[in-house]
Structure 1
Amino acid sequence: MFKVALQRVLNHLGFQVVRSRTSFSDEELRIIEQVRGYTSSSAERLAGLVGAVKYLAQNKLDGAFVECGVWRGGSMMAAIYTLQNLGDISRELFLFDTYDGMSEPTEKDVMFDGQKAADLLRDSPKVEGPGNYWCVASLEDVRQNMLATGYPKQRIHLVKGKVEETLPAQAPEKIALLRLDTDWYESTRHELTHLYPRLCDHGVLIIDDYGHWQGAREAVDEFFAAQRFRPMLHRLDYTGRLLIKPP
């Protein structure tokens, strides 16, 4: 999520353009184009999300879709478009965010190249709109973007506040898809602690920031090091990782 400003520059330079169209299906390409401007996620990560939604449907795995850190809602929009293509509008969708930009980072939150998150945020204005490091998007902006997909509004749940304050109380009991994109160590560790146990067996966990933020990587590695069985993290691109929860 924090990579919005960087992605804007890359878009301008043409790096977001899908250079090898044969590596994506026609459906993936359509959805990637539909959500461009609502997400900073790469084409590879979006394709991975589309594939995850189809996998869950094909295997009839029940549970809600949960995203922590949504910016303008583009990733969940991609999930919606995939569900609609499958003829499924029954999933409950939960979008957790401050809807007021990034929370304050700690000393653990350092970019892969050594830049401290606190330094980057300090020099960036906290304003709504594309291209700012704070990734500010209002709840109303996200609501309108979600409703524009045509998905049933009663199945869309926007939960405002820091995840450390809203989780686990406002999370669904059963989760099929869990996407984490809050960037920082503290929030990522909190999300895993409280939501991973609710992820169904064979459910999908997607971590957006594993390769980009050292704090997010540390939180993930610490959490799974303490588990009875450590699942394999599948690489989507330089930062995104996906795993299927073992039974």
Structure 2
Amino acid sequence: VLAANEVKDRKVYVADSFDGLPPPDAENFPADQGDRLHEYRQLAIDQAQVESNFAAYDLLDDQVIFVKGLFGDTLPDLKAGPFALIRLDGDMYESTMDSLEALYPRLSPGGFAIIDDLAHLPCLQAVEDYRARNRIKAKIHEIDWTGGWWQKPIAHS
């Protein structure tokens, strides 16, 4: 999309563990209690495979930045933003909350937040908790049976 519109001053950040999901930290994030997604090794797609997929569609260039690691470890210190769009696929409460806390404050007014896993209860709970704590009232629009999006309001003075 950036290349098609000749946008040179933006980056696409691809943040992932590239090693599957972590075991749940149920002591600190009770909503993740009993989560077993970390057991599914097919969810571990390594960075080289993702880069290959980008390259196959001629989308791999110097505007694509890969950020490897758990969201709570990498996103808070990521030197990036403001963002026009954030697309979150954290599955778990902890991963979703870590992503929202690190990225949503850097989402531009009028920008879009897309969440993949709203049908997965821990993810939905994280989104609801974050939105309630930050008084976010924007309507969540359904994408399909599991995803949703909302637009960050533009502050009017």
Which deviations, in whole Å up to 9, do the C-alpha atoms of 1:189-221 show, x marking residues without a partner? 11111110100011010000011x111011000
Unmatched segments (≥5 aa) in structure 1:
1-79, 111-115, 127-131
**Alignment partner, residue 22 of structure 2:** 103
Question: CA RMSD, aligned part only?
Answer: 2.0
Distance 2:110 2:124 in 1: 22
Report what 2:132 is aligned to.
Answer: 225
Matched residue of 2:31: which SS?
A: coil
SS of the aligned residue for 1:194 comes to helix
More strand per residue: 2
2:1 aligned with 1:88: no
User: TM-score scaled to structure 2, two decimals?
Assistant: 0.85
The 1:87–1:173 alpha-carbon spacing in structure 2 relative to 1, beyond 3 Å, is closer
* Cα displacement string for residues 25-79 of structure 1 (whole angstroms, at most 9, x for unaligned residues): xxxxxxxxxxxxxxxxxxxxxxxxxxxxxxxxxxxxxxxxxxxxxxxxxxxxxxx
The count of aligned residue pairs is 149
SS at match of 2:114: strand
Partner residue of 1:138 out of 43, 46, 49: 46
Provide the rounded CA distance (Å) in 2 between the counterparts of 1:160 and 1:139: 8
Structure 2 spans left out of the alignment, 5+ residues:
none
Deviation at 1:177, TM superposition (A): 0.8
Cα distance in structure 2, aligned partners of 1:96 and 1:104? 18
SS of corresponding position for 1:108: helix
Among the aligned pairs, what percent are the same residue?
32
CA contact (8 A) 1:92 1:156 kept: yes
Cα–Cα, structure 1 residues 227 and 189, in superposed 2: closer, same or farther, change >3 Å? same
